[in-house]
């Protein structure tokens, strides 16, 4: 893969990230904040991919300032999601709702105050990263994908429903996010079932969201046992679905969707 192609993708994803940031800074819109954070995740996945397949091993170092902004935005997003969960499960706790709303209001205010600083930080990080990119050998890309799929297969066999399961999701998303970039290098050497992998990571994401919800409603502040029991039942079904999807992972992940359905 030529550096020119890498830079094209970096610029495209970076531009989209910045656009969502600007909307949030102007409007304080939660949808824009969510899209901004998703773009940072995509960029992180891209940089991990570039770093893992090239001789350039310092890309993530230059991305750290952006990750700090991501973390600050996450405090606002977490409070917003807590309110969504309380509404979904019909929680009646005025003190909790007020505290979450205050976290959101204060967080947005501080974030927007730092808006100019954030945009400068992001621009500086982009310029540094653009200079660090280097050509990647196609064989390195194919080897990386094959090794990662092998690793995920092993992880799924031994990890169980622990934090390691969430790690599996992150590894899968790196491969899925970067598939368009890697497709030419993989062509003829490794089939890659994007639909299957995306389905698996999506269900792991639902499982993890339920774990977060369970922890929230189990906290001393809320301690809502009936809701916790309900979430556990829901997640038991999600876990069964994940086991079914993850069964024979390596075969499914490297078999094209049409062929997989036919077989």
Mean pLDDT of 124-147: 96
Q: Is the pLDDT of residue 31 over 90?
A: yes
- Whether residues 34 and 114 share a domain: the answer is yes
* pLDDT value, residue 34: 98
For residue 203, the 8-state DSSP code is H
Write out the residue range of the structural domain in which residue 100 sits. 1-136
Q: Which of 101, 136, 171 is the last residue of a domain?
A: 136
Number of domains in the chain: 2
For residue 28, the 8-state DSSP code is -
Q: Is pTM, for the whole model, over 0.85?
A: yes
Kindly list the distances between the CA atom of residue 197 and the CA atoms of 119, 129, 130, 175, 248, in Å, as whole numbers in the listed order: 34, 29, 30, 9, 12
* pLDDT value, residue 188: 76
Instruction: Please provide the distance, in angstroms rounded to a whole number, between the alpha carbons at the two ends of the chain.
Output: 34
187 pLDDT band (50/70/90 cuts)? Answer: confident
> Which residues, 6 or more positions from 255, have their beta carbon under 8 angstroms from its beta carbon?
191, 193, 263
Mean pLDDT of 7-20: 97
> Which residues, 6 or more positions from 75, have their beta carbon under 8 angstroms from its beta carbon?
103, 107
- Whether residues 127 and 158 share a domain: the answer is no
Q: Which two tokens stand for residue 251?
A: 């075969």
- Whether residues 76 and 65 share a domain: the answer is yes
- Whether residues 112 and 232 share a domain: the answer is no
- Whether residues 98 and 11 share a domain: the answer is yes
What would the pLDDT profile of 219-251 be if each residue is shown by its tens digit? 999 999 999 999 999 999 999 999 999 999 999
CA 166/CA 210 separation, integer angstroms:
12
CA 210/CA 161 separation, integer angstroms:
12
Which of the two residues, 189 and 206, has the higher pLDDT score? 206
- Whether residues 141 and 209 share a domain: the answer is yes
Q: Which of 11-20, 21-30, 45-54, 249-258 has the lowest mean pLDDT?
A: 249-258
Q: Which of 136, 156, 178 is the last residue of a domain?
A: 136
Q: Which of 136, 159, 190 is the last residue of a domain?
A: 136
CB 193 within 8 A of CB 257: yes
258 pLDDT band (50/70/90 cuts)? Answer: low
* pLDDT value, residue 233: 98
The torsion angle over the Cα atoms of residues 223, 227, 232 and 234, rounded to 10 degrees, is -160
- Whether residues 65 and 48 share a domain: the answer is yes
Positive or negative, the Cα torsion across 152, 157, 158, 162? positive
- Whether residues 156 and 219 share a domain: the answer is yes
- Whether residues 95 and 120 share a domain: the answer is yes
- Whether residues 42 and 131 share a domain: the answer is yes
Q: Is the pLDDT of residue 55 over 90?
A: no
Q: Is the pLDDT of residue 261 over 80?
A: no
Q: Is the pLDDT of residue 262 over 60?
A: no
- Whether residues 128 and 169 share a domain: the answer is no
- Whether residues 166 and 227 share a domain: the answer is yes
* Whole-number percent of the chain with pLDDT over 90: 94
């Amino acid at each position: 893969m030529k550096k020119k192609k890498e830079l094209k993708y970096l610029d495209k994803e970076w531009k989209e990230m910045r656009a969502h940031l600007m909307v949030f800074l102007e409007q304080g819109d939660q949808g824009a904040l969510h899209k901004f954070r998703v773009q940072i995740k995509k960029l992180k996945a891209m940089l991990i991919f570039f770093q893992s397949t090239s001789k350039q091993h310092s890309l993530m170092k230059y991305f750290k300032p952006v990750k700090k902004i991501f973390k600050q935005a996450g405090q606002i997003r977490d409070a917003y999601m807590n309110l969504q969960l309380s509404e979904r499960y019909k929680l009646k706790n005025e003190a909790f709702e007020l505290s979450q709303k205050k976290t959101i209001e204060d967080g947005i205010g501080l974030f927007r105050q730092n808006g100019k600083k954030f945009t400068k930080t992001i621009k500086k990080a982009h310029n540094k990263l653009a200079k660090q990119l280097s050509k990647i050998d196609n064989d390195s890309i194919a080897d990386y994908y094959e090794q990662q799929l092998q690793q995920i297969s092993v992880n799924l066999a031994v990890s169980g429903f622990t934090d390691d399961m969430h790690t599996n999701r992150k590894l899968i998303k790196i491969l899925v996010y970067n598939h368009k970039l890697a497709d030419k290098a993989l062509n003829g050497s490794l089939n890659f079932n994007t639909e299957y992998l995306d389905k698996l990571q999506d269900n792991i994401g639902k499982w993890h969201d339920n774990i977060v919800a369970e922890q929230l409603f189990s906290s001393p502040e809320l301690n809502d046992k009936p809701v916790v029991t309900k979430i556990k039942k829901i997640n038991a079904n999600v876990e069964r679905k994940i086991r079914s999807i993850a069964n024979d992972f390596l075969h499914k992940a490297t078999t094209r969707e049409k062929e997989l359905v036919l077989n």
